[in-house]
Chains A and B, each alone.
Chain A
Amino acid sequence: GQNIDQPTEMTATEGAIVQINCTYQTSGFNGLFWYQQHAGEAPTFLSYNVLDGLEEKGRFSSFLSRSKGYSYLLLKELQMKDSASYLCAVRDHLRGATNKLIFGTGTLLAVQP
């Protein structure tokens, strides 16, 4: 089966650092993606990991451990505009010839002044 788990909600302070965790159990694995979604808007792509380790992209970093089925998204120097849902998604390649992503339920991050 497919299972992707994330905390439902998190709160952090402006200027601080926050880590959003994601664990997954999927029948296949061919990459893990993080998306940001503001309320009522489309998910927008943040980062991609397929090999173990850390990928850094400005204030955002994402880490993957394939053996543990674990990833995290690290947001530094938090800004109020970072208040959004953060979606962890896995590319499952075993089923068919598609690139589809399977999404977790998302973590709603509230940044407070």
Chain B
Amino acid sequence: EPEVTQTPSHQVTQMGQEVILRCVPISNHLYFYWYRQILGQKVEFLVSFYNNEISEKSEIFDDQFSVERPDGSNFTLKIRSTKLEDSAMYFCASSEARGDSSPLHFGNGTRLTVT
């Protein structure tokens, strides 16, 4: 069964550094998402991406965050200057179509630790 893949599985970085989290969505999917989950808390929406542009973003997704689809397969999340509170599990997800019944398929996540 096709799956969303994310790399790296764990990233440790120092405060103020830039990080890029990578994702390869399922190949025939058209909608892409980033979510984050701080330890012990709920899964929070960050951003959705369709047709090579951001379609919606949350209040969390401020100027320090950006997303990109640099080629036909990768989907990246960049945090320009990391803060301690950015430590979380970051999940990439994709969905097949805009149809209401299309579930989001999640990758295994990247655990980001900012020290």
Binding site for B on A (CB under 8 A): 30-31, 33, 37, 40-45, 48, 50, 87, 89, 91, 93, 95-106
Check: B75 CB closer than 8 A to any chain A CB.
no
Interface positions, chain B 7-55, Cβ under 8 Å from A, are 31, 33, 35, 41-45, 48, 50, 55
User: Nearest chain-A residue to B58 (Cβ)?
Assistant: A100
Main secondary structure of the interface of B (DSSP, over half): strand
Residues in A neighbouring B35, C-beta threshold 8 A: 103
Given contacts A30-B100, A31-B101, A43-B91, contact A100 B42 (CB under 8 A): no
The number of A-B residue pairs with CB atoms under 8 Å apart is: 67
Contacts of B43 in A (CB 8 A): 37, 43, 87, 89, 103, 106
Quote the shortest CB–CB distance from A92 to chain B (angstroms). 10
- Kindly state the separation between the CA atoms of A104 and B44 in the bound complex, as whole angstroms: 9
A45 contacts B103, C-beta separation under 8 Å = yes
Q: Are A91 and B106 in contact (CB under 8 A)?
A: no
The answer on a CB contact under 8 Å between B103 and A42 is: no
Report yes or no: A42 in contact with B106, Cβ–Cβ below 8 A. Answer: yes
